Amino acid sequence: MRATSRTTTRRMVAWIAAAGAAGCLMTTPASAQSGADLAAVFAAAGDVSALVAKAKAERKPDQPNMVQPVVTLAPYVVNLEYRMSGLKAPAAVHETEAEIFFVVEGTGTAVTGGRLTDEKRTNAENLSGTGIEGGQSRRIAKGDILVVPQRSPHWFNPSDGPLILLSLHVPRK
Protein backbone atom coordinates (compact mmCIF):
# COMPACT_ATOMS: atom_id res chain seq x y z
CA MET A 1 0.00 0.00 0.00
CA ARG A 2 1.36 3.46 -0.88
CA ALA A 3 2.14 5.96 1.88
CA THR A 4 -0.83 8.14 0.89
CA SER A 5 -3.13 5.11 1.02
CA ARG A 6 -1.83 4.21 4.49
CA THR A 7 -2.35 7.80 5.65
CA THR A 8 -5.88 7.93 4.27
CA THR A 9 -6.73 4.54 5.76
CA ARG A 10 -5.28 5.49 9.14
CA ARG A 11 -7.27 8.72 9.20
CA MET A 12 -10.50 6.91 8.36
CA VAL A 13 -9.91 4.15 10.90
CA ALA A 14 -9.19 6.81 13.53
CA TRP A 15 -12.30 8.76 12.51
CA ILE A 16 -14.53 5.68 12.69
CA ALA A 17 -13.01 4.62 16.00
CA ALA A 18 -13.55 8.09 17.44
CA ALA A 19 -17.13 8.28 16.18
CA GLY A 20 -17.95 4.84 17.51
CA ALA A 21 -16.27 5.45 20.84
CA ALA A 22 -17.97 8.81 21.26
CA GLY A 23 -21.36 7.27 20.53
CA CYS A 24 -20.72 4.42 22.93
CA LEU A 25 -19.44 6.70 25.66
CA MET A 26 -22.46 8.96 25.30
CA THR A 27 -24.90 6.07 25.63
CA THR A 28 -23.09 3.82 28.12
CA PRO A 29 -22.92 4.65 31.84
CA ALA A 30 -19.35 5.29 33.02
CA SER A 31 -19.57 2.35 35.41
CA ALA A 32 -20.24 -0.02 32.49
CA GLN A 33 -17.28 1.13 30.36
CA SER A 34 -14.12 -0.95 30.55
CA GLY A 35 -10.70 -0.86 28.94
CA ALA A 36 -11.64 -3.96 26.94
CA ASP A 37 -14.68 -2.17 25.47
CA LEU A 38 -12.61 0.82 24.38
CA ALA A 39 -9.90 -1.39 22.87
CA ALA A 40 -12.56 -3.09 20.72
CA VAL A 41 -13.12 0.08 18.69
CA PHE A 42 -9.63 0.19 17.16
CA ALA A 43 -8.31 -1.38 13.96
CA ALA A 44 -4.87 -0.45 12.63
CA ALA A 45 -4.27 0.39 8.98
CA GLY A 46 -2.56 -2.99 8.63
CA ASP A 47 -5.72 -4.72 9.84
CA VAL A 48 -7.77 -2.95 7.17
CA SER A 49 -5.16 -3.78 4.50
CA ALA A 50 -5.30 -7.45 5.55
CA LEU A 51 -9.11 -7.46 5.19
CA VAL A 52 -8.81 -5.93 1.70
CA ALA A 53 -6.32 -8.67 0.71
CA LYS A 54 -8.60 -11.34 2.19
CA ALA A 55 -11.61 -10.01 0.27
CA LYS A 56 -9.63 -9.92 -2.96
CA ALA A 57 -8.47 -13.53 -2.45
CA GLU A 58 -11.72 -15.05 -1.14
CA ARG A 59 -14.46 -13.23 -3.09
CA LYS A 60 -16.25 -15.60 -5.44
CA PRO A 61 -16.26 -14.58 -9.15
CA ASP A 62 -20.05 -14.00 -9.12
CA GLN A 63 -20.10 -12.22 -5.73
CA PRO A 64 -20.69 -8.47 -6.25
CA ASN A 65 -20.01 -7.44 -2.64
CA MET A 66 -17.98 -9.04 0.15
CA VAL A 67 -18.62 -7.58 3.60
CA GLN A 68 -16.31 -8.16 6.57
CA PRO A 69 -16.52 -6.63 10.05
CA VAL A 70 -13.59 -4.40 10.98
CA VAL A 71 -14.62 -3.39 14.50
CA THR A 72 -17.78 -4.07 16.47
CA LEU A 73 -18.92 -2.50 19.70
CA ALA A 74 -22.65 -3.02 20.04
CA PRO A 75 -24.68 -1.40 18.73
CA TYR A 76 -22.03 -0.01 16.34
CA VAL A 77 -20.49 -1.98 13.48
CA VAL A 78 -17.80 -0.88 11.05
CA ASN A 79 -17.58 -3.06 7.94
CA LEU A 80 -15.18 -3.27 5.04
CA GLU A 81 -17.16 -3.59 1.81
CA TYR A 82 -15.29 -4.91 -1.24
CA ARG A 83 -17.55 -4.20 -4.24
CA MET A 84 -16.58 -5.44 -7.69
CA SER A 85 -17.36 -3.71 -10.98
CA GLY A 86 -19.32 -5.57 -13.63
CA LEU A 87 -21.53 -7.32 -11.04
CA LYS A 88 -24.76 -5.69 -9.89
CA ALA A 89 -25.23 -5.73 -6.12
CA PRO A 90 -28.70 -5.09 -4.71
CA ALA A 91 -29.80 -1.68 -3.48
CA ALA A 92 -30.62 -1.45 0.22
CA VAL A 93 -32.69 0.37 2.83
CA HIS A 94 -31.91 0.18 6.55
CA GLU A 95 -35.08 1.17 8.41
CA THR A 96 -33.45 1.68 11.83
CA GLU A 97 -29.85 2.66 10.96
CA ALA A 98 -28.11 5.49 9.20
CA GLU A 99 -24.93 4.48 7.41
CA ILE A 100 -21.71 6.42 6.88
CA PHE A 101 -19.44 5.36 4.02
CA PHE A 102 -15.78 6.24 3.47
CA VAL A 103 -14.18 5.38 0.13
CA VAL A 104 -10.86 3.64 0.81
CA GLU A 105 -9.97 2.77 -2.80
CA GLY A 106 -11.56 2.90 -6.23
CA THR A 107 -14.24 4.95 -7.95
CA GLY A 108 -17.88 4.48 -8.77
CA THR A 109 -21.36 5.90 -8.60
CA ALA A 110 -23.47 6.12 -5.46
CA VAL A 111 -27.23 6.45 -5.85
CA THR A 112 -29.26 7.60 -2.83
CA GLY A 113 -32.89 8.49 -2.24
CA GLY A 114 -35.71 7.62 -4.59
CA ARG A 115 -37.51 4.28 -4.36
CA LEU A 116 -36.29 0.68 -4.41
CA THR A 117 -37.33 -1.33 -7.48
CA ASP A 118 -38.55 -4.90 -6.91
CA GLU A 119 -38.46 -4.28 -3.15
CA LYS A 120 -38.09 -7.32 -0.88
CA ARG A 121 -37.80 -7.57 2.88
CA THR A 122 -34.50 -9.22 3.82
CA ASN A 123 -35.13 -9.17 7.59
CA ALA A 124 -37.16 -7.24 10.18
CA GLU A 125 -35.17 -4.01 9.68
CA ASN A 126 -33.84 -4.12 6.09
CA LEU A 127 -35.13 -4.06 2.54
CA SER A 128 -33.36 -4.77 -0.74
CA GLY A 129 -34.17 -4.17 -4.38
CA THR A 130 -32.77 -4.62 -7.86
CA GLY A 131 -32.12 -0.89 -8.18
CA ILE A 132 -33.38 2.60 -7.38
CA GLU A 133 -35.85 4.76 -9.30
CA GLY A 134 -35.62 8.53 -8.96
CA GLY A 135 -32.53 8.66 -6.76
CA GLN A 136 -29.64 11.11 -6.90
CA SER A 137 -26.45 9.83 -8.56
CA ARG A 138 -23.02 11.10 -7.64
CA ARG A 139 -19.48 10.07 -8.56
CA ILE A 140 -17.46 8.85 -5.59
CA ALA A 141 -13.72 8.33 -5.29
CA LYS A 142 -11.00 7.61 -2.76
CA GLY A 143 -11.32 9.83 0.31
CA ASP A 144 -15.01 10.70 -0.20
CA ILE A 145 -17.52 10.35 2.65
CA LEU A 146 -21.22 9.71 2.16
CA VAL A 147 -23.87 9.77 4.90
CA VAL A 148 -27.07 7.83 4.15
CA PRO A 149 -29.97 8.57 6.52
CA GLN A 150 -32.10 5.73 7.87
CA ARG A 151 -34.90 4.62 5.53
CA SER A 152 -33.02 6.06 2.52
CA PRO A 153 -32.39 3.72 -0.43
CA HIS A 154 -28.73 3.45 -1.44
CA TRP A 155 -26.77 1.56 -4.08
CA PHE A 156 -23.22 1.55 -5.41
CA ASN A 157 -21.92 0.86 -8.91
CA PRO A 158 -18.12 0.49 -8.97
CA SER A 159 -16.25 1.78 -12.02
CA ASP A 160 -13.25 -0.18 -13.31
CA GLY A 161 -12.07 -2.60 -10.63
CA PRO A 162 -13.06 -2.84 -7.00
CA LEU A 163 -14.70 -0.10 -4.93
CA ILE A 164 -13.55 -0.52 -1.34
CA LEU A 165 -15.61 1.16 1.36
CA LEU A 166 -15.64 1.36 5.13
CA SER A 167 -19.19 1.63 6.43
CA LEU A 168 -20.35 2.59 9.90
CA HIS A 169 -23.88 1.55 10.88
CA VAL A 170 -25.43 4.07 13.29
CA PRO A 171 -28.62 2.98 15.08
CA ARG A 172 -31.37 5.61 14.82
CA LYS A 173 -34.38 4.01 16.56
What's 158's domain CATH number?
2.60.120.10
pLDDT classification of 14: cutoffs 50, 70, 90: low
The span from the CA of 59 to the CA of 50, in Å, is 14
Percent of the chain scoring above 90 in pLDDT? 71
Q: Is pLDDT at 26 greater than 50 in this prediction?
A: no
pLDDT classification of 141: cutoffs 50, 70, 90: very high
3-state SS class at 7: helix
Provide the domain limits for residue 112: 3-171
For range 7-15, the mean pLDDT: 55
Read off the pTM.
0.80
Task: State residue 27's pLDDT score.
Answer: 46
Residue (of 8, 19, 11) closest to 73 by Cα position: 19
Residue 95 has a CB neighbour count (10 Å cut-off) of 14
Q: Is pLDDT at 148 greater than 60 in this prediction?
A: yes
The span from the CA of 39 to the CA of 49, in Å, is 19
| Encoded amino acid at 19, one letter | A
**Total tally of structural domains belonging to the chain:** 1
3-state SS class at 30: helix
Q: Is pLDDT at 61 greater than 70 in this prediction?
A: yes
Q: Is pLDDT at 117 greater than 80 in this prediction?
A: yes
Q: Which of 14-23, 70-79, 136-145 has the lowest mean pLDDT?
A: 14-23
Q: Is pLDDT at 20 greater than 60 in this prediction?
A: no
pLDDT classification of 2: cutoffs 50, 70, 90: low
Q: Which of 12-26, 82-96, 104-118, 147-161 has the lowest mean pLDDT?
A: 12-26
- At CB < 8 A and 24+ separation, what contacts does 52-55 make? 52/80, 52/82, 52/104, 52/105, 52/164, 55/80, 55/82, 55/164
Q: What is the mean pLDDT of the chain?
A: 85
The span from the CA of 136 to the CA of 170, in Å, is 22
